[in-house]
Amino acid sequence: MKILFALTVALLFVITPVYGQALSDATGLVNRLDIQTGGHTFEVQTISNFQITDFEFYKDEKKLTLYISSGLENNLSEVILPQNLLGGNLTFYLNGQEYVPQVKTNQEISFITLNFTGIGDNTLDIVGTEYLSGLTEKTTDMPPPDLMPLEDDDEGLIYITIILALLIIGGIVGTILLVIKRRK
């Protein structure tokens, strides 16, 4: 009786249910995208079953573009977007066509759930109506472009090279003279 009970419990862990989903479709890759704009750094977090190969942020257009590469037909992702970076009414474009994902927002973030189909390369554009909400743009003091950078002094390198070449030649000549003197 004990053997039958142990066998039944063991089978519960070994046999997977028929309705089980493939693990590769349900797992997620975590990406942290650091976006530097307006003198601030923002972190956009994504958890997805596809790879984000690159991203671009256009502050004038208030747009974040994600370049996606997927090996699965059914793509799923969660994006955590800071409200300070892009806020207001968000519009989404998947491969140039308007796309409506599930979006939940609070004072700090927009939580976006993406669910779309398509194997291969895709592009997702997130366009907001507000940029740097509640923050001021910091400017960095850059030198005027008409200033020339200081040129390196290459004369010292030339002198060192000449001295090293003379030492090597002197060593070779000295070795040859020593060998000739020993033969005599």
pLDDT of residue 1: 64
Percentage, residues of the chain above pLDDT 90: 46
| Backbone CA torsion sign across 45, 50, 54, 57 | negative
The span from the CA of 37 to the CA of 115, in Å, is 28
Radius of gyration of the chain (CA): 32
Residues facing residue 52 across a β-bridge: 68
Bridge pairing between strands 91-94 and 97-99: antiparallel
* 11 assigned to some structural domain: no
E-only strand ranges, 10-132: 29-37, 40-48, 51-58, 63-70, 74-82, 86-87, 91-94, 97-99, 102-105, 109-117, 120-127, 130-131
165-to-6, 65, 153, 177 alpha-carbon distances in Å: 84, 56, 20, 18
pLDDT > 50? residue 19: no
pLDDT of residue 133: 77
The CATH number of the domain where 43 resides is what? 2.60.40
pLDDT of residue 114: 93
Average pLDDT over residues 69-92: 92
* 84 assigned to some structural domain: yes
Phi, psi dihedrals of residue 23, rounded to the nearest 5°: -65, -35
Phi, psi dihedrals of residue 120, rounded to the nearest 5°: 110, -150
* 63 assigned to some structural domain: yes
* 38 assigned to some structural domain: yes
Average pLDDT over residues 32-53: 91
* 30 assigned to some structural domain: yes
pLDDT of residue 28: 78
Greatest mean pLDDT among 66-70, 135-139, 173-177 lies in 66-70
49-62 per-position pLDDT tens digit: 999 999 999 999 99
* 111 assigned to some structural domain: yes
Average pLDDT over residues 28-51: 90
Percentage, residues of the chain above pLDDT 70: 76
Low-confidence winner among 22-26, 124-128, 137-141 (lowest mean pLDDT): 22-26
pLDDT of residue 163: 85
pTM of model > 0.85: no
Higher pLDDT, 6 or 184: 184
Give the total number of structural domains in the chain: 1
Average pLDDT over residues 172-177: 86
Round the average pLDDT of the chain to a whole number and report it.
81
* 174 assigned to some structural domain: no
By residue range, what is the domain housing residue 29?
Answer: 21-131
- 122: closest CA among 134, 133, 130, 114? 114
- 63: closest CA among 138, 128, 157, 144? 128
* 105 assigned to some structural domain: yes
pLDDT of residue 18: 47
